[in-house]
């Protein structure tokens, strides 16, 4: 596939794509805006305003993210802000743009991609603010530039649920809907999510400039990322003082920790293409994701992933593969293959260490205590998989059981009860020798009572499609306080209904 430059694309006359407005109409926000990504220059993006979304309405808000931006509550629901975030009014001080990137999709080089339906508005309080579903850009390829209400609600809720679980992620400020029809497998309606992150730069941004042979731009991008987000890479004596190898090492470390969190909590991303991998190690681009219901290590949450490339238990290996793609892209800067390999080789031990630490915390054990919990964890996962035990309910019941010293409700989850009894015996032996072990009540702050199960999302989406947005806000409230009891939301902590296993989520969003 020929690689197009942003400049070439920008000249193409795609309808509605050269959107300029009278600056007098701009919304003046109380925020002060920077546009540092914009200032990187024309190699990196096409300046472009979002495409207006007709007759927009609010669907959901997250006040925590508004606080992060320094936005007062009154602003969050104001008419001007609604018009601004739906692309109907420009925001004073922003220089909106769509960025160019490339990437590997399902293991194949996909060539140029880019923000096909996202617009970066600018940066405020050190956080970039991006609209997703905001219309055509030069990188839309055959897409319509839009996102549907269903997938926008999923991204909004999951970003915030993940953050509340302590998992590195991009955040979401709000969802805005419109009755504008959008064609997917069926006719749906359009929506825009406002996302927030220190940076939306992906592995694919680096792959783009390496593939185009634009080594100066590659260096500019790497220097920008190092100076802004990884300044310690300039000072390290490791890697013979090679800051680009140090960058690869830091991204490797953050990615390992992110994926360890996914595996420990039972999160399946579904589309780990290199263009969906954040250079900051944040969970990015929520599509056909799922939290496991029954524990099934080979679970494939993406209906279109026939080969299971992105199955739950493949995620650590895929993350490592993606880091190789990043390393390949950085090689013209790192120059020495051995340094790149040295950084990449840290992935497996860092992942194993982070995973063991998280799993020990879930068990209420100290991870460098006198007992080796590795076999205990492995054996437990075998039992959970064999009996298809609900992953979240297991951990929460184990936490309660430990607190009350009554393990019957956990035993009830298993078919092979003798195997469970044997495991419990060993667990209790380890608890007994783990003097520094976590207090039992801490387990309730580590093992969530509520995760954003797909069926819960579906129920909130269906209500929203009928213009009842209260279920979205209610679910947000529960999943953003996942360790609390929520006595009025007991049903959300129970087993999923039978129809949950028949939900099919694809990449189409
Ligand atoms: P995703 O699978 O959502 O990570 O998207 C892969 C690529 O396709 C990215 O470059 C997206 O910007 C682009 N894309 C996805 N959906 C659309 C759409 N509806 N319109 C235009 N571009 C899209
Ligand atoms: Mg993507």
Collapsed DSSP state (helix, strand, coil) of residue 11: helix
pLDDT band at 19 (very low <50, low <70, confident <90, very high): low
Here the tokens at position 25 are 């109409």
Instruction: Report CA torsion sign: 455, 459, 462, 468.
Output: negative
Beta strands in 213-323 (DSSP E): 267-268, 290-291
Q: What is the pLDDT of residue 18?
A: 60
| Weakest-pLDDT range from 104-113, 253-262, 369-378, 414-423 | 369-378
Q: Crossing angle, helix 337-344 and helix 243-265, to 10 degrees?
A: 20
pLDDT band at 23 (very low <50, low <70, confident <90, very high): low
Ligand 1 center from residue 507 Cα (angstroms): 9
Q: What is the pLDDT of residues 441-500, one digit of tens each?
A: 899 999 999 999 999 999 999 999 999 999 999 999 999 999 999 999 999 999 999 889
Q: What is the pLDDT of residue 52?
A: 97
Q: Please, what is the average pLDDT of the chain?
A: 93
Please name the residue whose Cα sits nearest to atom 2 of ligand 1. Answer: 507
What gap in Å lies between CA 342 and CA 245, rounded to an integer?
9
Q: What is the pLDDT of residue 439?
A: 76
Choose which residue among 45, 51, 143 to substitute to test ligand 1 binding: the one with the highest number of ligand atoms within 8 A of its C-beta: 143
Ligand 2 center from residue 421 Cα (angstroms): 45
Q: Residue 181's beta-bridge partner residues?
A: 189
Here the tokens at position 273 are 């293409």
Q: Which atom from ligand 1 is nearest to the alpha carbon of 507? A: 2
Among residues 115, 275, 305, 390, the one annotated as catalytic is 275
Residue ranges of the domains in the chain? 8-15+30-202, 204-356, 365-445
Catalytic status, residue 216: no
Whether the pLDDT of residue 76 is over 90: the answer is no
What gap in Å lies between CA 476 and CA 481, rounded to an integer?
9
Of the ligands numbered here, which is closest to the C-alpha atom of 208?
1
What gap in Å lies between CA 224 and CA 300, rounded to an integer?
36
pLDDT band at 13 (very low <50, low <70, confident <90, very high): very low
Q: What is the pLDDT of residues 107-156, one digit of tens each?
A: 999 999 999 999 999 999 999 999 999 999 999 999 999 999 999 999 99
Whether the pLDDT of residue 369 is over 80: the answer is no
Of the ligands numbered here, which is closest to the C-alpha atom of 143?
1
Strands 267-268 vs 290-291: parallel, antiparallel or unpaired: antiparallel
**Ion ligand 2, residue ranges at CB < 5 A:** 276, 285
Q: What is the pLDDT of residue 438?
A: 66
Q: What is the pLDDT of residue 25?
A: 84
Q: What is the pLDDT of residue 7?
A: 31
Q: What share of the chain is helix, strand, coil (3-state, %, to 5)?
A: 45, 15, 40
Q: What are phi and psi of 338, to 5 degrees?
A: -65, -35
What gap in Å lies between CA 298 and CA 230, rounded to an integer?
35
Q: What is the pLDDT of residues 61-71, one digit of tens each?
A: 999 999 999 99
For 7, 41, 219, the CA distances from 222, given in Å and listed in that order, are: 21, 14, 5
CB atoms within 10 A of CB 223: 16
Please name the residue whose Cα sits nearest to atom 13 of ligand 1. Answer: 116
């Amino acid at each position: 596939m020929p690689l197009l430059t942003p400049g070439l694309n920008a000249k193409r006359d795609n309808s509605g794509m050269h959107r300029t407005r009278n600056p007098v109409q701009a919304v003046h926000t109380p925020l002060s805006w920077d546009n540092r990504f914009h200032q990187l220059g024309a190699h990196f993006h096409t300046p472009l305003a979002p495409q207006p979304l007709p007759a927009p309405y609010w669907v959901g808000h997250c006040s925590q993210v508004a606080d992060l931006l320094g936005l007062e509550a009154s602003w969050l629901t104001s008419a001007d802000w609604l018009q601004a975030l739906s692309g109907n009014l420009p925001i004073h001080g922003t220089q909106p743009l769509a960025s160019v990137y490339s990437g590997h999709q399902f293991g194949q080089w996909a060539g140029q991609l880019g923000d096909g339906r996202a617009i970066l508005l600018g940066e405020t309080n050190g956080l970039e603010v991006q609209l997703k579903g905001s219309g055509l850009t030069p990188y839309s390829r055959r897409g319509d530039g839009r996102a549907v209400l269903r997938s926008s609600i999923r991204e909004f809720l999951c970003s915030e649920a993940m953050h509340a679980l302590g998992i590195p992620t991009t955040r979401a400020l709000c969802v805005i809907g419109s009755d504008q029809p959008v064609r997917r497998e069926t006719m749906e309606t359009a929506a825009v999510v406002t996302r927030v992150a220190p940076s939306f730069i992906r592995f694919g941004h680096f792959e783009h400039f390496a593939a185009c042979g634009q080594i100066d731009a590659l260096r500019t991008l790497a220097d920008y990322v190092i100076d802004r987000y990884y300044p310690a890479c300039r000072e390290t004596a490791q890697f013979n003082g090679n800051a680009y190898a140090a960058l690869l090492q830091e991204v490797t470390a953050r990615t390992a920790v992110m994926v360890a969190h996914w595996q420990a909590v039972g999160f399946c991303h579904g589309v780990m293409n290199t263009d969906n991998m954040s250079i900051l190690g944040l969970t990015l681009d929520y599509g056909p994701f799922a939290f496991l219901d029954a524990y099934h290590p080979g679970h494939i949450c993406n209906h279109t992933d026939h080969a299971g490339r992105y199955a739950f238990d493949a995620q650590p290996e895929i993350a490592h593969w993606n880091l190789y793609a990043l390393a390949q892209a950085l090689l013209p800067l790192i120059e020495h293959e051995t340094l790149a390999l040295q950084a990449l080789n840290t992935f497996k031990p860092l992942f194993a260490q982070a995973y063991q630490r998280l799993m020990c915390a879930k068990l209420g054990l100290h991870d460098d205590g006198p007992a080796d919990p590795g076999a205990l964890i492995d054996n437990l996962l075998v039992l959970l998989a064999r009996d298809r035990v609900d992953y979240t309910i297991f951990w929460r019941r184990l936490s309660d059981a430990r607190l009350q010293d009554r393990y019957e409700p956990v035993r009830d989850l298993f078919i092979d009860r003798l195997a469970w009894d044997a495991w419990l015996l060993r667990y209790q032996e380890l608890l007994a020798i783990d003097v520094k072990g976590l207090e039992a009540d801490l387990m309730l702050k580590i093992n969530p009572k509520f995760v954003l199960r797909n069926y819960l999302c579906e129920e909130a989406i269906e209500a929203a499609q009928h213009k009842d947005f209260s279920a979205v806000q209610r679910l947000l409230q529960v999943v953003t306080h996942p360790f609390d009891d929520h006595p009025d939301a007991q049903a959300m902590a129970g087993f999923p209904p039978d129809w949950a296993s028949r939900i099919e989520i694809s990449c189409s969003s």
